[in-house]
Structure 1
Amino acid sequence: MGAGTVYEAASLAEARAQARATGPCGLAVLDLGLPDGNGLELVAELRAMGWKRLVVLASSNDAYAVRSAFKAGAQAYLLKSATGAVVTDGVKHVLGGGVYADPTLAPMLVTGAKVPGSDNTPRDLSAREVEVLQLVADGQSNKEIGEAMSLSPLTVKSHLARIGHKLGTGDRAHMVALTMRAGVVH
């Protein structure tokens, strides 16, 4: 997919060392099941180090693992059992500034979108909220969304807060992943 340099690590320790040596790169593809630790720790560490595009490629379709990866800062969660086309599509979405989850995870992500004690789902979003989330999925900042929709960045932030309440998450990547898999955002 046009990568100029590719680094590989077989363990959490090697990945940490490589990340420190190179600094943030264009894309990191991470496994959660590493021999010396949990890849979720690495996702959070890389995010804190300034890495912008993090893709988890894992064998687990466990709801907790998927949600934890997005909460830690991943922009995509792909299954190792996915077709090459799905992996390519996910990586392209992330490289374009978007968020992606393996299509087979849709039912699980939608179930996880409910606010405890309510029946709110991604389908409960207003047309304006969906429009905001579509721009978030396209990788735009609050300021860029505001300019595109003739809103102030503060109004965009208010929309995102309402969306977060409805979906039960305050994480932008998680919001987009939930609504994309539910077919609300494309």
Structure 2
Amino acid sequence: MQPLSKVEGRAIPFGAKNIDTDIIIPSKWLKTITREGLGEGAFESIRQDPDNVFDAPENKGAPILIAGDNFGCGSSREHAAWALGDLGIRAVIAPSYSDIFSGNAVKNGILPVVLPQEAVDRLMEVASSGDDIHIDLEAQTVTTKFQDRFTFEIDPFRKHCLLGGLDEVSLTLESSDAISTYEDARTANKAWLMEGTGA
């Protein structure tokens, strides 16, 4: 997972509320075990409208998505985070998220920023006008060139994981010395546990 400290650039002014994971990535796309190519199916039903914000030329490659309240509700499919990542999204700004989606986003290197509706409305205006938005995870701020400055809260552990690019495997490997020390001591002190294991 790539470390994330800052996300800067265009934001897709989506803003819709109660967008569930079936809208983010329809169930027919869940047959894959790879993350690649899921961006093509992201928001498929919405993208059937030729004037949708996701396929607008000015939003191509935008790293930020601005969404409405209760984003990522519905089923717990991790493919929703995979699809956003494959679409190029590194951060989502919304008033609230489903807990499961929020956790899946962080585990896949996507920052879920929670801001009040008034701040989200203001950022929708900025994004709609084509101006960049800047997110600083270290400082926990969202800013614009118009002197807008919004602060957000994030769980310290999630922040640590995003800043370090740490997924669950990486977190386990951070403790590899302690694990080895424990296993060596257990083998030395309780050799009978290892009998018949071939170790």
- Taking structure 2 as the reference length, the TM-score comes to 0.34
The answer to which structure has the higher helix fraction is 1
Structure number with the higher strand fraction is 2
Structure with bigger gyration radius: 2
- Normalised to the residue count of structure 1, the TM-score between the two structures is 0.36
